[in-house]
């Protein structure tokens, strides 16, 4: 069925290549009490570029069909069928929030239908929505896990939900989280098709939520925010104030005294720092921005302004990724931004874009778009493969080959978020007020917008992000006076990011050139925009030339993992060194020669066509006598960060050392390094036991380590098979132990065995084998000549364990 849909889409695209102008009343609608600046909806903007348009097309052709395919094969859709009485059985999937994936993909499909009309997809949605309607209980309650469990006398109710509806939502039941995504999908579907089918389901649900929750009723706050944004969309679609009030209730009922993890430690209006789970956080801040705009609520506005500064001044990666740590899938302290273990969940990048977009709509300042653009071209975009069928959950800035995009995840929030976000990208280019037209992103397109009540056609020709030249043509229906506000990005103005967490290492004195109808114009800069206030006539042309040299960036010295390193940026695009282009696959041991200079060239045949950067660098290599040798300079190639891992897993690095001091030399050819390593379990990080990187302590997550989790309390092993028999008499092991963060501890016992004939014998140690945390465990023993050696460990009762490094001498 997916293939039929794809082929049909292709035919329809060729038919529907005419310009789509949205229905009157849906464009630039400014309600009294809403954002002072209104986005121009993506339906009014037709992309004609080579960068985003093909990606949006692939999202329609590949991502959305496969995402629905996984929803079917994993049982997510069957959950609705069982709950609705079309089928029988138990809850089919792992998580109670699995309903939300179906809703998010319906949202994405609805957006996609507006660019690529597809009757097959539309009728597929009709059937799916019919099933969702059947799964909704008569009073409006919709949560397939509970409805299915109740058919089995309560058996199979998820452990995160309690017997009473809603009661556990502030913990983990995700009842309101599912509904938030339902409401967003319902509004998208209604706007795309004019059909009220899903909207009616959403309104019935929202009316139940409105009946059950309130200051004199259920006072549970959402454990995973998103319903706030969803309810605001229902309010905008219906004009019903009760949905807006409910959104505000769900914010005001939150905290104090709850967990930082889901931002319930304080009242939202009292929050000043970005904490906890970063997707929950950015969804909440976006909901707060909506309320701040509609209700003109200064307390909300103050809170999110401070939180934005907290993120941008100390908690964001150069790629625009947020959420540094995996344990909480969220924010760490300021400046704690490790590269290899960077979490930077794809959903958090999308949430960060939602938040920055809303703050721009409130304030009209370009700094919010500076962050948005950075995230869009880097951390968000790396979340999906070029083929549009593989996805990253975390988006690290460094890899030893342990990362690889996946086709789908048990927790599938990221692919479904990509499916719904990508089709909406054209909606981020323009925005309007009554007298102003903002140009925020530079992407070739043609758009029809309303400035006040004046119809204006505007188009851009650009080869962005590879080229800094942009040509804007303004075609008002009648000659008209208004301000065209063209964003002058931070990167064109010697600012790597607002606030200075990252800085360009040298100044670039090339100016931004701007001309109107061929006449050079002095830039009148306000809030980061070149303001062109004039009477615009048909065919007026604005030409802008942004300087787009290759820039090197350094981080605030408080970012420990970036000390002594630089990153490379061109326009908004952050570059990385990746294994296929460098040094026979070795990248992590490279040192960039910062004196060598840079050049760039467009390589049409590389990953769909991309600008690559060339410079020089050299490798650092450990030697057997313990020193580090620097090899001669050789050419070094950098590619856009977002494109990494499209040619298979391997080493990648964004922040590159400038001297040997901060380099990670490649391993020496020790006995362990030359051995074949195996273990009692399969692991993608097994070779990390012999990579010769010394951890700072047993709980160091900055570099790959090997662990036996989830195995607990039993004997496990790791084995080295030598190339040839070796005489050995000493071993050193550094245990992995994540203390209270996890379930790995140093083992109760350990021993070394060596291969003798076809069997294994214990070595004769010269002291006892006690396990010690945060240190090398050194054991010397009577020399043996052997072809293999094995370390056996007895894991602590109820705990697992692991090894950072295991050396044999
Ligand atoms: Zn996600």
DSSP secondary structure string, 443-501? --EEEEEEETTEEEEEEEEE-TTT--EEEEEEEESS-EEEEEEEE--GGGGT-SSTTSS
Residues 6+ apart with CB under 8 A from 153: none
Q: Which two tokens stand for residue 277?
A: 């789970």
383 CA → ligand 1 middle, Å: 10
224 CA → ligand 1 middle, Å: 12
680 CA → ligand 1 middle, Å: 31
Contact 430, 39 (CB under 8 A): yes
Q: Give backbone dihedrals phi and psi of 285, rounded to 5 degrees, phi first.
A: -60, -35
Q: How far apart are CA 280 and CA 263, in angstroms?
A: 8
374 CA → ligand 1 middle, Å: 19
585 CA → ligand 1 middle, Å: 30
413 CA → ligand 1 middle, Å: 4
Helices and strands (H, E) in the chain, number of each type = 17, 32
Residues 6+ apart with CB under 8 A from 73: none
660 CA → ligand 1 middle, Å: 37
Contact 754, 728 (CB under 8 A): yes
Q: How far apart are CA 462 and CA 600, in angstroms?
A: 18
Q: Which residue has the tokens 């949006």?
A: 56
412 CA → ligand 1 middle, Å: 7
408: three-class secondary structure by DSSP: coil
278 CA → ligand 1 middle, Å: 10
590: three-class secondary structure by DSSP: strand
579 CA → ligand 1 middle, Å: 26
Contact 674, 722 (CB under 8 A): yes
349 CA → ligand 1 middle, Å: 9
789 CA → ligand 1 middle, Å: 42
354 CA → ligand 1 middle, Å: 14
658 CA → ligand 1 middle, Å: 34
634 CA → ligand 1 middle, Å: 39
Q: Residue 729 to residues 233, 765, 783: CA-CA distances in angstroms?
A: 70, 9, 4
Q: What's residue 703's pLDDT? A: 83
798 CA → ligand 1 middle, Å: 30
232 CA → ligand 1 middle, Å: 22
Low-confidence ranges of the chain (pLDDT < 50): 1-31
196 CA → ligand 1 middle, Å: 29
155 CA → ligand 1 middle, Å: 29
Q: List, in sequence order, the alpha helices (H) in 747-800.
A: none
Encode pLDDT of 11-69 as tens digits: 333 333 333 333 333 333 444 589 999 999 999 999 999 999 999 999 999 999 999 99
Encode pLDDT of 644-700 as tens digits: 999 999 999 999 999 999 999 999 999 999 999 999 999 988 999 999 988 999 999
Q: What's residue 24's pLDDT? A: 31
774 CA → ligand 1 middle, Å: 33
Q: List, in sequence order, the alpha helices (H) in 272-426.
A: 278-295, 298-314, 346-363, 366-375, 413-421
Q: Which two tokens stand for residue 729?
A: 């008499």
785: three-class secondary structure by DSSP: strand
54 CA → ligand 1 middle, Å: 23
Give Rg (Cα) of the chain.
28
Q: Which two tokens stand for residue 349?
A: 């990048």
392 CA → ligand 1 middle, Å: 9
679 CA → ligand 1 middle, Å: 31
330 CA → ligand 1 middle, Å: 11
Report the length, in residues, of the chain.
809
179 CA → ligand 1 middle, Å: 17
669 CA → ligand 1 middle, Å: 40
Q: How far apart are CA 669 and CA 673, in angstroms?
A: 6
308 CA → ligand 1 middle, Å: 21
**Residue of 736, 744, 735 whose CA lies nearest to 713:** 744
Residue 385 sits at the vertex; the CA angle it makes with 380 and 391, to the nearest 5 degrees, is 70
282 CA → ligand 1 middle, Å: 12
Handedness of CA 267, 268, 272, 278 (dihedral sign): positive
625 CA → ligand 1 middle, Å: 46
Strand partners, 575: 640
Q: What's residue 32's pLDDT? A: 54
Q: Which two tokens stand for residue 51?
A: 């960068």
Residues 6+ apart with CB under 8 A from 640: 377, 378, 573, 574, 575, 576, 610, 611
Q: How far apart are CA 40 and CA 433, in angstroms?
A: 10
Q: Give backbone dihedrals phi and psi of 511, rounded to 5 degrees, phi first.
A: -80, 165
Q: Give backbone dihedrals phi and psi of 724, rounded to 5 degrees, phi first.
A: -150, 160
Q: What is the DSSP letter of 423?
A: G
Q: How far apart are CA 263 and CA 270, in angstroms?
A: 11
142 CA → ligand 1 middle, Å: 22
Residues 6+ apart with CB under 8 A from 527: 363, 364, 365, 366
414 CA → ligand 1 middle, Å: 4
611 CA → ligand 1 middle, Å: 29
Percent of the chain with pLDDT over 70: 96
Q: What's residue 770's pLDDT? A: 87
35 CA → ligand 1 middle, Å: 27
365 CA → ligand 1 middle, Å: 28
601 CA → ligand 1 middle, Å: 34
Q: Which two tokens stand for residue 791?
A: 């370390």
Q: Give backbone dihedrals phi and psi of 403, rounded to 5 degrees, phi first.
A: -105, 140
Q: Which residue has the tokens 């065209």?
A: 484
242 CA → ligand 1 middle, Å: 30
Q: What is the DSSP letter of 377?
A: I
Encode pLDDT of 490-522 as tens digits: 999 999 999 999 999 999 999 999 999 999 999
Contact 422, 56 (CB under 8 A): yes
765 CA → ligand 1 middle, Å: 49
DSSP assignment of 66-94 = HHHHHHHHTTHHHHHHHHTTSS-SS--SS
283 CA → ligand 1 middle, Å: 12
766 CA → ligand 1 middle, Å: 51
346 CA → ligand 1 middle, Å: 6
348 CA → ligand 1 middle, Å: 7
Q: Which residue has the tokens 């809850």?
A: 91
DSSP assignment of 485-514 = EEE--GGGGT-SSTTSSEEESS---PPPEE
CB atoms within 10 A of CB 29: 12
Q: How far apart are CA 462 and CA 441, in angstroms?
A: 10
261 CA → ligand 1 middle, Å: 16
416 CA → ligand 1 middle, Å: 8
7: three-class secondary structure by DSSP: helix
């Amino acid at each position: 069925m997916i293939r039929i849909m794809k082929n049909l889409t292709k035919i329809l695209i060729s038919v529907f290549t005419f310009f789509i102008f949205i229905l009157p009343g849906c464009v630039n609608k400014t309600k009294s009490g809403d954002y002072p600046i209104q986005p121009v909806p993506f339906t009014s903007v037709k992309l004609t570029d080579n960068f985003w348009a093909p990606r949006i097309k692939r999202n329609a052709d590949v991502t959305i069909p496969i995402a629905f395919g996984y929803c079917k094969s994993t049982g997510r859709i069957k959950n609705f069928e069982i709950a609705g009485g079309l089928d029988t059985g138990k809850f089919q999937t792992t998580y109670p929030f699995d309903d939300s994936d179906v809703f998010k993909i319906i949202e994405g499909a609805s957006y996609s239908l507006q660019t690529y009309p597809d009757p097959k997809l539309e009728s597929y949605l009709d059937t799916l929505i019919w099933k969702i309607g059947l799964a909704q209980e008569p009073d409006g309650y919709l949560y397939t896990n509970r409805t299915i469990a109740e058919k089995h006398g309560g058996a199979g109710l998820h452990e995160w939900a309690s017997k009473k509806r809603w009661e556990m939502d502030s913990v983990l039941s995700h009842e309101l989280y599912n509904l938030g995504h339902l409401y967003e999908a319902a509004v998208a579907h209604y706007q795309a098709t004019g059909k009220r089918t899903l909207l009616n389901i959403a309104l019935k649900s929202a009316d139940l939520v409105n009946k059950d929750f309130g200051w004199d009723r259920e006072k549970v706050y959402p454990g995973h925010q998103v319903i706030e944004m969803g309810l605001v969309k229902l309010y905008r679609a219906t004009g019903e104030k009760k949905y807006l009030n409910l959104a505000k209730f769900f914010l005001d009922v939150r905290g104090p005294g709850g967990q930082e993890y889901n931002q319930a430690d304080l009242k939202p209006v009292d929050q000043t720092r970005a904490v906890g789970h970063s997707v929950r956080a950015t969804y909440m801040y976006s909901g707060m921005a909506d309320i701040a705009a509609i209700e003109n609520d200064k307390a909300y506005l103050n809170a999110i302004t401070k939180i934005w500064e907290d993120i941008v001044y100390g908690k964001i990666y150069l790629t625009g990724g947020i959420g540094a740590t995996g344990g909480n899938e969220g924010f760490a302290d300021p400046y704690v931004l490790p590269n290899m273990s960077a979490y930077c969940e794809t959903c958090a990048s999308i949430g960060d874009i939602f938040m920055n977009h809303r703050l721009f709509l409130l304030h009209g300042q370009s700094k919010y778009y500076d962050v948005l653009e950075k995230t869009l071209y880097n951390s968000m975009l790396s979340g999906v493969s070029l083929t549009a069928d593989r996805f990253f959950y975390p988006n690290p800035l460094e890899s030893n080959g342990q990362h690889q995009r996946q086709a789908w995840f048990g927790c599938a929030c990221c692919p479904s978020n990509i499916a719904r976000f990508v089709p909406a990208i054209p909606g981020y280019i323009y925005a309007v007020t009554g007298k102003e037209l903002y140009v925020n992103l530079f992407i070739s397109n043609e758009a029809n917008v309303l400035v006040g009540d004046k119809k204006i056609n505007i188009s851009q020709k650009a080869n962005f992000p590879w080229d800094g030249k942009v040509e804007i043509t303004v075609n008002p229906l009648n000659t008209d006076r208004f301000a065209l506000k063209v964003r002058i990005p931070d990167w064109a103005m010697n600012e790597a990011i607002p606030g200075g967490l990252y800085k360009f290492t040298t100044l670039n004195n090339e100016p931004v050139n701007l001309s109107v109808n061929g006449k050079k114009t002095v830039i009148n800069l306000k809030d980061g925009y070149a303001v062109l206030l004039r009477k615009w006539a048909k065919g007026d042309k604005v030409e802008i030339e942004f300087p787009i040299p290759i820039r090197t960036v350094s981080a605030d010295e408080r970012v420990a993992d970036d000390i002594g390193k630089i990153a490379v940026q061109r326009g908004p695009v952050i570059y990385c060194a990746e294994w296929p282009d460098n040094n026979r696959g070795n990248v992590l041991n490279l040192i960039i020669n910062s004196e060598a200079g840079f050049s760039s060239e467009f390589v049409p045949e590389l990953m769909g066509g991309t600008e690559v950067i060339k410079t020089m660098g050299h490798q650092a290599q450990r030697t057997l006598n313990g020193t580090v040798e620097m090899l001669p300079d050789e050419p070094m190639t950098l590619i856009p960060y977002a494109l990494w891992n499209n040619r298979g897993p391997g080493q990648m690095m964004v922040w590159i050392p400038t001297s040997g001091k901060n380099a990670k030399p490649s391993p020496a050819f020790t006995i362990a390094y030359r051995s074949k390593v195996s273990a009692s379990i399969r692991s993608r990080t097994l070779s990390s036991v012999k990579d010769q990187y010394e951890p700072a302590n047993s709980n160091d997550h900055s570099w790959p380590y090997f662990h036996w989790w989830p195995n607990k309390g039993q004997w496990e092993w790791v084995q080295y098979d030598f190339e040839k028999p070796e005489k050995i008499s000493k071993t050193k092991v550094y245990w992995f132990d994540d203390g209270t963060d996890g379930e790995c501890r140093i083992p109760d016992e350990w021993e070394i065995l060596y291969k003798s004939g076809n069997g294994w014998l214990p070595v004769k140690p010269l002291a006892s084998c006690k396990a010690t945390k945060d240190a090398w465990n050194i054991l010397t023993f009577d020399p043996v000549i052997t072809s293999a050696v094995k370390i056996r460990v007895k894991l602590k009762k109820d705990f697992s364990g692991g090894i950072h490094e295991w050396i044999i001498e």
